[in-house]
Amino acid sequence: MHRIPRHESKCAAFHGHRYAAELTCEAPLDDRGRVIDFGVVKALVGGWIDEHWDHTAILQRDDPEPAIRALAEANARFGRPVYWMDLPPTAECMAAELARVAQELLAPTGVRLVSLRLWETPNGSAEWRLATR
């Protein structure tokens, strides 16, 4: 669940989505002809998503909505603390946040995250791309 503070339409209200993340990684092929086993990506990045974003609220830290604190307290009582973001939890900002986390999680494997697309709905997504020089 999230909400977008100061949104000019219905996204100002608390609501949820059925997110899906699509990652593109690069590295030299291993002796099996692959960049990385998909199960490793799923365990690392998917595991982080399950722990931090699944069945909780993803909210902006300085959201002025009074209900935010009560929601955070309720989630904590149910063992699902809020994931606090410094920026609004838009698909764009969430894609950038997940890319930051995925880069850290994948770094020990030698795999580099090139792009990440976060699908908020089946027909709406945001994409993060590694900056090229």
Model pLDDT, residue 133: 64
Which of 7, 51, 55, 104 is the catalytic position?
55
| 15 annotated active-site | no
Q: Enumerate the domain spans of the chain.
A: 10-129
| 55 annotated active-site | yes
Query: What is the identity of the amino acid at 71?
Result: L
| 25 annotated active-site | no
Model pLDDT, residue 132: 78
Cβ distance 48 to 56 under 8 Å? no
Cβ distance 14 to 29 under 8 Å? no
pLDDT, tens digit, 9 for 90 and up, residues 66-118: 999 999 999 999 999 999 999 999 999 999 999 999 999 999 999 999 999 99
Cβ distance 82 to 71 under 8 Å? yes
Q: Following DSSP, what letter does each residue of 50-85 receive, concatenated? A: HHHTTTS-EEETT---THHHHHHHHHHHTT---EEE
- Local structure of residue 38 (DSSP, 8 states): H
pLDDT, tens digit, 9 for 90 and up, residues 36-78: 999 999 999 999 999 999 999 999 999 999 999 999 999 999 9
Which of 11, 17, 92, 127 is the catalytic position?
11
Q: Provide CATH code, domain 10-129.
A: 3.30.479.10
pLDDT exceeds cutoff 90 at 23: yes
Which of 2, 25, 97, 120 is the catalytic position?
120
This model's pTM is above 0.85: yes
